[in-house]
Chains A and B, each alone.
Chain A
Amino acid sequence: MDLKTYIARRLLLMVFVLFGIIVITFIVSHVIPADPIGAILGPQAPPELVEKVRREWGFDKPLPEQFVDYIWNLLHGNLGKSIRTNKPVAEDLMRFFPATIELATSAMIVAILIGIPLGIISAVKKDRWPDHISRIFALMGVSMPVFWLGLILLFVLYYQLGIFPGPGRLDPGIEAPPRITGLLTLDSLLTGNFEAFTNAVWHLILPSFVLGYYASASITRITRSALLEVMSQDFIRTARAKGLPERIVLFRHALRNALIPTTTVIGMTYGSLLEGAILTETIFAWPGLGRYSTGAYLSVDFLAVMGSTLLIAIIYSVANLIVDILYAFLDPRIRYA
């Protein structure tokens, strides 16, 4: 099977997966005993108003009819309107997702920059102090609550020392660049607004570090164990036996093979970062997907819940697919089947 057929087959499968997710999310979000209209109108709304708004949104219709309506609209590219924001869900997602992409991508870069070198050091110096330190560092990354680390960093580096800016994407008073992609760093570069660019990058550092540090732990661990496994194989002994310097053995022979499982972890981690990170987004006042979808869940905003779940499902499926395709580049022995 060649690559194109493989991708086509996977994309087809993805449609079924997504349909399954839609059905499950729809059922779950509609059978829970909560009332979106009540949630949005508040405790003081008169009952007639609640009924009127319920009719307006079509929530008085039988469930199967609502489902058919939803699928029909979805096939026409319409994700519906959010009850909470009173805007089309697609528009909302377009507005919140770029902030998440920006944060997730820079966090991923941080995670790779921390995770892979630490994993390598850890494996090379196995059971010696650099190994212990990097493993403890990684352990702290996964076990430290992100909101705690975020607050501590803000307290020390923003409030006490004043090195980094406070929460938000830009300082108040800095003119945001016109919206092109929604990524502030990219938009400010495209429009040549360097003040906004440096400010945006500066604001990005702390949240990316918090999120990236957390994500780096699994990368460190998988790189270490994969590298150790590769290093114990025969071809490494051969390489060493023929007198190759350790540097070449490590980087040219061992690492490339060890990076295959690491790629999987990176792909999946990136997927999960793109879901939005509610805690980090809250601490750093970051208007991302995590805050949007959590807000939607809390106010039982059905269509926004469906829309963001669908987006997350697509991200995961695509991340999975990309990882699988990357495998073949990293390891020519792997064939698509």
Chain B
Amino acid sequence: MKTSYIVGIVVILILAGLAFFMMSQPAPTTTSAPATTPKPSPTATAPATTPKPAPTTTKTKTETAPKIKTPKDILIIAMDTSDAVSMDPARAYEFTSCFVVNQLYDKLVDFELPDLVNVKPEVAEKWEVSEDGKVWTFHIRKGIKFASGNPLTADDVVYSLQRVIKLKQTASWVLTQFVSKPEQIEKVDDYTVKITLDKPVAPSFFLATLTFTTSSVVDKKVVEAHAKNGDMGSEWMTDHSAGSGPFVLEKWEREAEIVLAANPNYWKPGQPKVKKVIIKHVPEPTDQLLLIKKGDVDIVTDLTAEQINQLKGEKGVNIVKVERTHIVYMGMNVAVKPLDKEEVRDAIRYCIDYDAIINDILLGAAIKWQTVIPKGLLGANPKTPYKKDVAKAKELLAKAGYPNGFEIELTTPPTYPQTDIAAKIQADLAECGIKVKIVQMTASEMYEKYRKQGLQLVLAGWGSDYPDPDNNAKAFGDYRVKQLAWRNSWYDDYAADLAEKAALEFDKKKREQMYLELTDYILDHGPYAILYQTVAQHATRDWVHGYIPDPTFFLLDLSKVSKG
């Protein structure tokens, strides 16, 4: 008896010790602390409910330059890279792939973050468009060299864009929606390229799509040297690079690390500012938290909102936020009664407690946004008329002939935070008398059904493939493109026509006006309750400079990031 008593005490002590380690807030390690005592940050990050211009940085004041723990000329990023499939610009369509491809290649034109409205020259130093908006002429910048040393000429540009059209890979539609045949891309002379579109579109729209990684310029000679079986080098390009971007792909060890080395021939003077970028694959956010706190990595990208809150006030760590061009919404299938009645859809929008979702579930990793074009893009409409108003919702339901509510299914993927949001919506709608049955299924199964118009209410998100309002306007407004409007059986010709018209409008001001009109219209009549716009929160060590987080997933530019 006595021995088991002792053993019991020993075990309790061990567990208590472990629990103590687990609970205790870690003391800052001396190694990563700045040389002098830093003052606590006087200004905390803005509360999530007050949106600030993107991006914002929470800085801990330091009087002298911090002591760098990681090698000074190597930038180390810890992120989850498991989605990466191929580093071939004609194939890349995932977050990690596009992020990396953008470091390896230059595009004809680009956005300079955080500006997502005005396209800037890159490989093309200037361009003209014909009166009818169909023929584009791009003048290639002279003196750009590929990493191989080959000069970048019109041949490479023509080859690269034709390659995308010929290979017909996942992301090719971004280009082929305007240019369906390879012959439409022609060389005029060594430094001039002519692109003829199928039909005229708004210049800002076409240019914005050219900033997507599919339009990267590849080194024709190098790629052709590695082509086999007519694959235009695609297999080799999966884990090699042939570009003129600030970095070259040195190594990609899947699920371990992606190593980028500075391109010695890079044409922008003084860039890149580091010799190497190591993207360490760290799938577990808790690991990322430990790594950044310890100072063993420079940037982490996948912390949870809770972990970000934990990091506030942590010495030597900055939090960088940006509003992503990603909207989370609840779709309402108009083919399902009583969602066909506008009053019912409006009532549902008045039942939801948007603030609670943003503050209590997402802990501020989102902003309140209720229109279909995200903040930051042309035509973004800041109206947020919907807030929880049970009385008004009940009144609308009574008007629609459903004073006692009804029963409906809400489908959601079985992942956080969707499950929590679904439960919150269920509780909110119950207050209005609407009985929601939550159906959980894997995302792939859910989208399979959603594509076939087979859901009632659905919790889903939409990220912009290129920073132009058209992507969202058509998806949410134009049922003819068979995206979200169609999936929710909302066949509204007014919205569809307006979305199409706006895509063709040459005048930027008028175009913006059309999108404001369209988003207003969808806000009132559409089959959606837009819940929020997501906010990306990254943590960087205070020795990292020039890191501007990307609101999309293909515009991040590491060439200006330095350490010191």
What residues make up the interface of A, taking CB atoms closer than 8 Å to B? 32-36, 38-47, 49-50, 52-53, 84-87, 92, 95-96, 128-129, 132-133, 136, 140, 151-152, 154-156, 158-160, 162, 166-169, 172-173, 176, 282-283, 285, 287, 291-292, 295, 298-300
Q: Kindly list chain A residues whose C-beta atoms are within 8 Å of the C-beta of B64.
A: none
Contact of A129 with B444 in the complex, beta carbons under 8 Å: no
B interface residues with partner A (beta carbon < 8 Å): 3-4, 6-7, 10-11, 18, 21-22, 26, 29, 31, 70-71, 74, 76, 82, 85-86, 91, 93, 168, 170, 173, 238, 253-257, 278, 280-284, 286-287, 290-291, 293-294, 296-297, 442-445, 447-448, 450-451, 460-463, 465, 475, 481-483
Closest 4 CB pairs of A and B: A39-B444, A287-B255, A35-B448, A129-B3
A sample of 10 more A-B contacts (CB under 8 A), given A53-B170, A86-B85, A154-B290, is A33-B448, A132-B3, A133-B10, A136-B7, A152-B18, A152-B21, A155-B22, A166-B296, A168-B280, A173-B278
Q: Report the minimum CB–CB distance from B376 to chain A (whole Å).
A: 18
Give the chain B neighbours of A46 by CB distance below 8 A. 173, 481-483
Q: Find chain B residues with CB under 8 A from A41 CB.
A: 93, 170
- Complex CA distance for A295 and B86, rounded to whole angstroms: 16
**Contact indicator A159/B22 (Cβ below 8 Å):** no
CA gap between A95 and B465 in the complex, in Å: 32
Q: Are B7 and A158 in contact (CB under 8 A)?
A: no
Partner of A283, one of B71, B93, B287: B287
A49 to B26, CA, bound (A): 50
Known contacts A34-B448, A44-B475, A132-B4; A85/B254 CB under 8 A: yes
Closest B residue to A35 by beta carbon equals B448
**From A299, which residue of chain B is reached at the shortest CB distance?**
B444
Contact A35–B287 (Cβ < 8 Å):
no
B260 to chain A, nearest CB (A): 12
Nearest-neighbour CB distance to chain A for B319, whole angstroms, equals: 19
With A129-B6, A159-B290 already in contact, the answer to whether A49 and B463 are too (CB < 8 A) is no
Which residues of the other chain, A, contact B280 by a CB distance below 8 angstroms? 168, 172, 285
A32 to B7, CA, bound (A): 50
- In whole angstroms, what is the CA distance A88 to B57 when docked? 43
Number of residue pairs across A and B with beta carbons under 8 Å? Answer: 143
B331 to chain A, nearest CB (A): 11
A86-B85, A159-B293 known; A287+B445 contact, CB < 8 A? no
Given A86-B86, A160-B21, A39 and B443 contact (CB-CB distance below 8 Å): yes
Partner of B483, one of A44, A159, A287: A44
CA distance A96 to B281 in the complex (A): 14
Given contacts A38-B447, A282-B284, A292-B255, whether A85 and B85 have CB atoms under 8 Å apart is: yes
A161 to chain B, nearest CB (A): 10
Contact, CB under 8 Å: B22 / A152: yes
- Given A41-B170, A155-B290, A172-B74, also A287-B21 (CB < 8 A): no
- 23 chain-A/chain-B pairs, Cβ below 8 angstroms: A33-B445, A34-B445, A43-B443, A43-B450, A86-B91, A86-B238, A151-B286, A155-B21, A159-B26, A159-B29, A162-B29, A167-B287, A168-B257, A168-B282, A169-B256, A172-B257, A282-B284, A283-B284, A285-B280, A287-B253, A287-B281, A291-B82, A292-B255
Give the chain B neighbours of A96 by CB distance below 8 A.
254-255
* Contact (Cβ within 8 A) B291 A166: yes
Q: Which chain B residues border A128 with CB–CB below 8 Å?
A: 3
Instruction: Report which residue of A154, A156, A168, A298 has the largest number of chain B beta carbons within 10 angstroms of its beta carbon.
Output: A168
Chain B hits for A32, CB < 8 A: 445
Residues of B within 8 A of A291 (CB): 82, 255, 283
Residues of chain A contacted by B284 (CB below 8 angstroms):
167, 282-283, 285
CB-CB under 8 A from A156, the residues of chain B are 21
Taking the nearest CB of chain B, how far is it from the CB of A172, in angstroms? 5
- Whether A43 pairs with B293 at a CB distance below 8 angstroms is no
- Given the known A-B contacts A38-B447, A136-B11, are A282 and B170 also in contact in the complex, defined by CB atoms under 8 Å? no
By a CB distance below 8 angstroms, the chain A residues around B26 are: 155, 159-160
Task: Pick the residue among B7, B256, B294 that contacts A132 (CB under 8 A).
Answer: B7
Task: Report how far A201 CA is from B31 CA in the complex, Å.
Answer: 24
Cβ contacts under 8 Å, B451 to chain A:
38, 47, 50
Bound CA–CA A46/B26 (angstroms)? 48
Report the bound CA distance from A169 to B444 in whole Å: 32
Minimum CB–CB distance from B84 to chain A (whole Å) comes to 9
* Contact partners of B18 in chain A: CB under 8 A: 152
Distance between Cα atoms of A295 and B83 in the complex (Å): 9
A203 to B447 Cα, complex, angstroms: 40
CB distance from A21 to the nearest CB of B (A): 23
Which residue of the partner chain A has the closest CB to B84?
Answer: A85
- Chain A residues near B257: list those with CB within 8 A: 168, 172
A77 to chain B, nearest CB (A): 19
> Given the complex of chains A and B, what is the CA–CA distance between A43 and B280 in angstroms?
27
A282 vs B302: C-alpha distance in the bound complex, in angstroms?
A: 14
The answer, among B76, B461, B463, for a CB contact under 8 Å with A172, is B76
Residue among A95, A140, A168, A300 making CB contact with B254, cutoff 8 Å = A95
State how many angstroms separate the Cβ of A70 from the closest Cβ of chain B.
21
A138 to chain B minimum Cβ distance, whole angstroms, is: 12
Q: How far is the CA of A119 from the CA of B11 in the complex (A)?
A: 19
Per the bound structure, the CA–CA distance linking A34 and B290 in Å amounts to: 36
Given known A-B contacts A38-B448, A132-B7, A291-B255, A49 and B293 have beta carbons under 8 A apart? no
Give the Cβ gap from B21 to chain A, nearest Cβ, in Å: 5
Which residues on the A side are within 8 Å of B10 (C-beta)? 133
Question: Within 8 Å CB of B29, what residues of A?
Answer: 159, 162
B residues less than 8 Å from A169 (CB atoms): 256
Query: Chain A residues with Cβ under 8 A from B475's Cβ?
Result: 44
List chain A residues, Cβ under 8 A from B168.
52
Q: Which residues of B contact A292 (CB under 8 A)?
A: 255
- Tell me if A35 and B445 are in contact (CB < 8 A): yes
Determine if A166 and B294 form an interchain contact, defined as CB atoms under 8 angstroms apart: yes
Q: Are B447 and A173 in contact (CB under 8 A)?
A: no
With A33-B445, A38-B444, A168-B282 known as contacts, the answer to whether A173 contacts B287 (CB < 8 A) is no
Known contacts A46-B173, A47-B482, A287-B254, A173 near B283 by CB under 8 Å: no
Residues in B whose Cβ lies below 8 Å from that of A42 = 93
Smallest CB separation, B239 vs chain A (Å):
9
